[in-house]
Every structure is written in C-alpha cells, then in structure tokens.
Structure 1
Amino acid sequence: MSMKSNSKLRVAVIGGGIGGAATAVALKSIGIRADLYEQASEIKEVGAGVGMRPPTVNYFKKWGIYGEIERKSSRSDYMEVVAANGDVLVRERWPLLTDNPEEKWARLVHRADLIEIFLNQLPTDSIHLGHRLDKIIDHGNYAEVHFENGRSIEADLVIGADGIRSEVRSQLFSDTKPIYSGTHAYRAVVTNKEAFELVPDNTLKVYVDGRAQIYVLPLHHRNQVSFDVTIQSPDASWRPVVSPEEIVKLVDNFVDGIQKTALTVEEYTCRSVYDIDSIDRWHSNCVALLGDAAHAMQHHTGQGANSAIQDAGVLAECLQEADSIPEALQLYQSRRKPVTDKFQELSRQAPTQQTETAFIEKSHFEKA
C-alpha cells in the first residue's frame, strides 16, 4: 500500500493524554493533521511532576516547542535516594542517554503543563472531547472507529494512545490484563515551606523505607513541589479511597519534613499502581498502539511519559522514511519495542535502602 501525501492522510489518535497529544504534535511537524479523540468531557489538571530526559527533550526541539517547555520546567542535575531518617544513601548525576556528553540532566515539569503545551499546538477543531471508543474495526487498509456518543469515523491510520486499559489493544491486539503491583500511589502538588526545605535545589529525592517510596520532585518554576507516596497495599481497586489522615499515619517514621508536608495536604489523587506484561505485536497495517496502551509500566524509572513522547517522535520519523503505512508501523515497533520492553522490566524494581544506584537503567542505556 503506497503512502498518500501527508495532507491527504486521514489520521485518528484515540486518547488525549501525554502520548496522544504528543503524537498529534509530532505528526503536525511533518505535515500530517491528526484528529484527537478523548473520552473525557474536559481536560483537567491531574497528575504530578515528571522528569523529562534529553532524548525526549530533543523531540521538543525538533517540533519547535522547546522554548515553552524550558519556561515551564526546571533543569535537574542530580537525584538522591534518601533513607526515612534523612541519611543520603545515593547521590548521582542523571545518566547520559544521548551522544551529547552535556546532556546529563532532566527537566522537571508538571504533567498538566506538558499536555497543555502539546494541545496548544493543535488546531482547536482537531480536538474532540467526549469521545469514548466503543468499537474499532480493522479493514486492512483503513480502520473504522465507533464512539459511544454515536459518532463514527474512518481513518487511514489509527493510533491507540488510550492508556493501560486500552480498548484498541484489547479489541485488536492482545487480551493481556493490567497487573496489580501490590502498591498504591498517593499524589499531590504542594506549596508548603517544609516541602521546599526538603528540596531547596532542583534535586529529585526518593525517600525509602521497607514498605514505601516517597518521591519529592521540585517544581520551583511553579513555586510547587510534587509529593508522591508509593506504599504497599492489598487493595487492588483502581481508585482506592484513602483519607489524608490515613496517609499521615503511613509516613510517621519518615523525617519531620515529610510528615509536616503530609499534614498540609487536603486532597490526594489516589491510584493503585498497575502495569502490563510485554505484548508481542503493537500494530496491524493501519492501526498502532502507543504509550501505556503498548507498554504500560510502573513509575519507578520515571519512563512512562518519556516513553510515550519518544514513541510519538519515532512514529513520525518512520512515517517520513517509509513508503507505506504498514512499512512505517513495522519500523516503528522494531525501533521502540526493545527499548520499552527493557524499561517495563526495570520499572518493576522499586528503590530500597539497599539501592546502590538512583538509576537502574544506567547499565543498560547509558552512553559510554
């Protein structure tokens, strides 16, 4: 199947999160308009901080949006793993993941700012809210998509960026089910003095004891700190109900700054932590999976958002290089899957008091 000219390609992206929005921007940068279909009726500020790594940031440069990311993020040169009593166990430079020896850093950004930057690049009439996928039919050289609101579309290429519980994945590629990690993540963004004293500079810190990891990620450009408590729990419900008072009790053996920060939080986003096992195939001739739909992973290596954005960048590159959509999708999976398979595996290893490195991916990906 030969490739239509970019301006004539009909492309639908299912899912308006980081991966889906980044894909629409990546495709726009090569002259392809993508329509974005998001099940939510509005885009809300959710989530917490994330460290954008240089391979990801370099795509922002390629897409012409680096200045906006730079304004809404802070550069971090170090990460620390810290014992519950405050003893620093490991302090490390961010690993080198590109060929540029100057790029041993991360840019700390709020997830909501990332999505806003992406969506601001797109034509407003290409963003369709309130579109929950009901059924997708793969006809070989095009796909048909039906939404619960009664609307139907056809597209030459459909990108399933619809998350860990992807309908695109389950209907077309794999019946693999999300796997509960045995932990919950309680996330908040705070502005209290005690949190700032924990991270006076731009060093990301992970406080650990035998059953918990507390990620304290400075967002000084927003005058905020991202506070993420990951703790063991037998409750596998997707959105566990946990009160702020209960969380205060869960962190009572950590340093005063952690306890005082927890005391100031009025509301957390509470989620059970799930991932999926690696799946064999991400694509057909006209449909491909991306981000969590393809390779949902735990958050311990900080690679979920990075991987989704890099998927988007590689997909756009493959569409430029290949002579047909099927060829481009084969190329896309061959380049991305070995990387994300390894990150999926590594992300299941949470930092502990015995941790010898802040970056378990270092021995696999750092440039020598």
Structure 2
Amino acid sequence: MQSSDLKNLKIAVVGAGYGGAAAAKALSLLGADVGVYEQATTIREVGAGIGLRPATLERFGQWGIFDAIAKVSSPSDYFEILTATGEPLMKEEWPAAGERKQTRLIHRGDFIDALLGVLPQGMVHLGHRLRTVQDKGGSAVLAFENGATVEADLVVGADGIKSVVRQRLFSDKGPVFSGEHAYRAVVPVDDTHGMVTDDNLRMYIGRGTKVYLLPLRHRGQVSFDITALCADSTWNPRVTKDDLLRTVEGFDPRLVDITRGLDMSTVNIRAVYDIDPVDTWHSDSVVLVGDAAHSMLHHQGQGANSAIEDAGALADALRAADSPREALAHYQAARKPVTDTLQAVSRQGWTEDAIDDVFPGQRPAGQQPAGQAPETSASGTAGTSAAAAAGE
C-alpha cells in the first residue's frame, strides 16, 4: 500500500501480550494510527523464562528495539537434553539466522515490559474487555464491556488462547487439553545447588516428566519449569509441594532439592492447553495473530517467537499489497503453513527414546537409549527436525 494510504489506516489491536504489542510496534512503524485495547487493568505477566530465537531478534533489529530487549536478556549458545539423572542425550547449538546469530533468554514479564515500553504513550488502553466484534466489510466495530465502542479499518485479534475475536468470527472450538500440567517458578541461582554455571537451556527427561532449567543471568535467577503428565484438566489446578515432589522422583537429587525448596506461593500452576488449527485467520477487516490464531504447546518453545513473526509478516504484507484485504490473504498464506507445522510438532512433545528421531546422530558416542517407557500423554512422542525443535 502507498505510504499515504497506510498513514490513513486506523488499526485496533485487541490484546497487549506478545503478539499484540509486537503487532502494534510493527504496524505503527508503517505510519498507521494504532490503538491497543487490553482487558486487564494492569499489565502483569506471570510465568517464567522463554528463549527468543534469531529470527525474532532480526525483527527487533528491523524495528529498532533490539537494544531494549538485549538489556533485559542474556545470550545463550546451545540447548542440551539430559536424562533424569543427568546423562547427556543431545547438545546442539542454536541455529543462527541473519545478523542476530544468537538466542537470548528472557523473563516473560521483562519481555512484555520491554515491548510495551517502546510503544508511544497513550497507545495502550487498559480495562477494555472485548464483548463483540463485527466485520462490516470495509471496517470493523469492537464493543467492550465497559461500554466503549471502537471502529477501525483493520482489527487485529491478539487476545490469546481464549480469543473472543477468534470465537466470534472464525472458530467456536475451545482450547484442547494436552494431558499435562506445567509448574513454573523463578529461583535465585544460588538456590540451584550448583546446577547452573552458564547461560544455556537444559531439559531433563524422566518418565512422564520434563524439567527445564533456563538461566536468567541478568537477573541472577533461573527459570525452573516442570512439565508432568496429569489427567486433571482444571485450568488452574490446586497442587501441593508433595504433588510436585512426586513428579520429580528419580531425578537428579539436586533437582529434587530445588523442588523441595520452592515457595509454592510463587509457583505458576496451570493445565497445558493449545487449540486445533484454525482454517481461516481473517475476514475483510479482521485478522488473528499469535495464540489467537495458533496457540501451541510449549514443548518446542515457539509460541512467543511465532507471535513476533506474525506481527512482522502482517506489517510486511500491508506494505506490499494494494489493499488491506489483499494483505490479509498474503499474510495468512505466508504464516499459516508454518504455524500449522509448529502446532503439530509441539504436540509431539519429547521422550528420551525419541531424541534420536529428533536429533539424528547427535547422541554422544556409546550412549544408547535407556529403554525408558514412552510417555502416554495426548501429545505423543517427538519426531521433528533439529532446526524446528531448536527454533529457526
């Protein structure tokens, strides 16, 4: 689209998470008039650490915000998978891409704060819980529970796994339970009993349980995540310290000690959900990005990175197309095949026996599969390429 047309474009972004904040930044750089509408009255991101991949960092470089992200993150060289007791299964450097030949580890809260911090003051409107969305062809109208209405030339639905935009216009299917729980906490490096000595992500695989140690060196902390099989599909289940200790039975005693030392009031506990692929992401004036379009399980670490790539691809499509409607079709054509694959791969999960399928030839010499029984969760077993698993 011509720059003059882009500057006359009014865009309403629903949601101020990763995808919404990134879309707001990318679209505002086109010169469009962008407003972000977030249901929360304060921004508070719970959870723990994530990895930002090279392609994501390339986008940040293009948008002029790489330094803001770098200040609150640490570079990482490789990803390592070990057995429950610490025997090495796989070690691979993160794939490089473009000029940003690194992966950076960051706390979710710091990431959201950094993204929102580079948006113009007054762009984000809190306390706007979406009630309805109507596509009128050349524009769309949002109605919020606080009584406000907003009409825009383009609405970007970035309102997460429970997206109202998706459910009103594109798919009435709800989130899908994976058969797992995720328990996440941030602990001081000094409380990890010597297990964290560098800036690299490690995953320990046991029978039905995966334990992640993701260093956040810039904070002097470590993201400690346990993903375990559990049939309880309650969205925010009640879990005790004894429950957590049972999930790490047989693991390295130091991992058990970290678990035993957790302050349960600081542990984020949730059942793990994703969504089935959505056939269509856009109408004439409304489009989905991030988890609203393709929420996926966390096993491959692709959720936040995919949301950032969506934002960049949407801005690219608007710049190149002759109209918003044409741009939305190009955006979906570019991104949906990628995220459909990542959703499927993420559902495959990880088991020790599957490491050779995921990373052929990467197992240390003489290290044979331990004969561990495969996981029986709904997510199945792994079977993707190293590049996809580690993030392209």
**TM-score computed with the length of structure 1 as normaliser:** 0.94
Hey, what does 1:248 align to over in structure 2? Answer: 245
CA contact (8 A) 1:3 1:323 kept: no
| 1:202–1:360 distance in 2 versus 1, CA, 3 Å | farther
Q: Which has the higher mean CA deviation after the structures are superposed, 19-28 or 353-362?
A: 353-362
Distance in 2 separating the partners of 1:196 and 1:63:
40
Q: How far 1:244 sits from its partner (Å)?
A: 3.0
Unmatched tracts of structure 1, length 5 or more: none
Is 2:169 aligned against 1:172? yes
- State the shift of 1:245 in Å: 3.6
- Structure 1 window deviating more from structure 2 (30-39 vs 129-138): it is 30-39
In the TM superposition, what are the counterparts of 1:43-54 in structure 2 within 5 Å?
43-54=43-54
How far apart are the structure 2 equivalents of 1:138 and 1:257?
A: 55
- The structural deviation recorded for 1:252 is 2.6
Which range moved further: 3-12 or 152-161?
A: 3-12
Partner SS, residue 171 of structure 1: helix
Q: Cα distance 1:59–1:363, how it changes in 2: closer, same or farther (>3 A)?
A: closer
Partner of 2:379: none
In structure 1, the residue matched to 2:313 is: 314
Cα offset, 1:123, TM superposition: 2.2
Query: Counterpart amino acid of 2:338?
Result: V
- For structure 2, the 5+ residue unaligned runs are 360-382
1:30 CA displacement: 1.9
SS, match of residue 360 in structure 1: coil
Match of 1:271 in 2: 270
Task: Give secondary structure in 2 for the equivalent of 1:272.
Answer: strand
Query: 1:92 maps to what in 2?
Result: 92
1:112-165 per-position Cα deviation (integer Å, ceiling 9, x unaligned): 111111111112311111111100111011001000111111010000001111
Quick check: 1:161–1:292 contact (8 Å CA) kept in 2?
yes
Q: Secondary structure at the match of 2:161?
A: coil
Secondary structure at the counterpart of residue 342 of structure 1: helix
For structure 1, which segment, 230-239 or 22-31, has the greater mean C-alpha deviation from structure 2 after superposition?
22-31
- Of 34-43 and 193-202, more deviation after overlay is shown by 193-202
Partner residue of 1:347? 346
CA distance in 1, matches of 2:209, 2:292: 27
Give the Cα separation in 1 of the matches to 2:98 and 2:388. 15
**What is the Cα deviation at residue 218 of structure 1?**
0.5
Cα distance in 1 for residues equivalent to 2:391 and 2:108: 27
Report runs of 4+ in structure 1 exceeding 4 Å deviation: 1-4, 363-368
Does the 8 Å CA contact 1:244/1:268 hold for their aligned counterparts?
Answer: no
Could you say what secondary structure the match of 2:194 adopts?
helix
Separation of aligned partners in 1, 2:193 and 2:259: 13
1:257 aligns with 2:257: no
1:111 CA drift (Å): 1.2
Q: Report if the CA contact (8 A) 2:297-2:346 is conserved.
A: yes
1:301 and 1:347 in contact (8 A); partners too: yes
1:194·1:257 contact (CA, 8 Å) conserved in 2? no
- Determine the C-alpha separation between the residues in 2 that align with 1:80 and 1:364: 15
Q: How far 1:45 moved relative to its partner?
A: 3.7
Pick the aligned partner of 1:124 from 98, 116, 121: 121
Taking the aligned partners of 2:391 and 2:137, their CA distance within structure 1 comes to 40
In structure 2, the partner of 1:360 is 384
The 2-side partners of 1:258 and 1:275 are apart by 28
8 Å CA contact 1:192, 1:264 repeated in 2: no
Alpha-carbon distance in 1 for matches of 2:281, 2:302: 19
Tell me, in whole angstroms, the C-alpha distance in 1 between the residues paired with 2:117 and 2:94.
30
- Quick check: 115-124 or 145-154, which moved more? 115-124
Aligned to 1:297: 296
Q: In percent, how many aligned pairs have the same letter?
A: 46
**Contact 1:99-1:367 within 8 A present in 2 as well:** no
Give the distance between the partners of 1:109 and 1:360, measured in 2 at CA. 25
Equivalent runs, 1:30-49 vs 2, <5 Å: 30-49=30-49
Superposition pairs for residues 1-368 of structure 1, below 5 Å?
5-96=5-96, 98=97, 103=101, 105-195=102-192, 197-266=194-263, 267-354=266-353, 355-356=355-356, 357=358, 360-362=384-386
Task: Name whichever of 280-289 and 255-264 sits farther off.
Answer: 255-264
Q: CA RMSD in A?
A: 2.1
Q: SS of the counterpart of 1:24?
A: helix
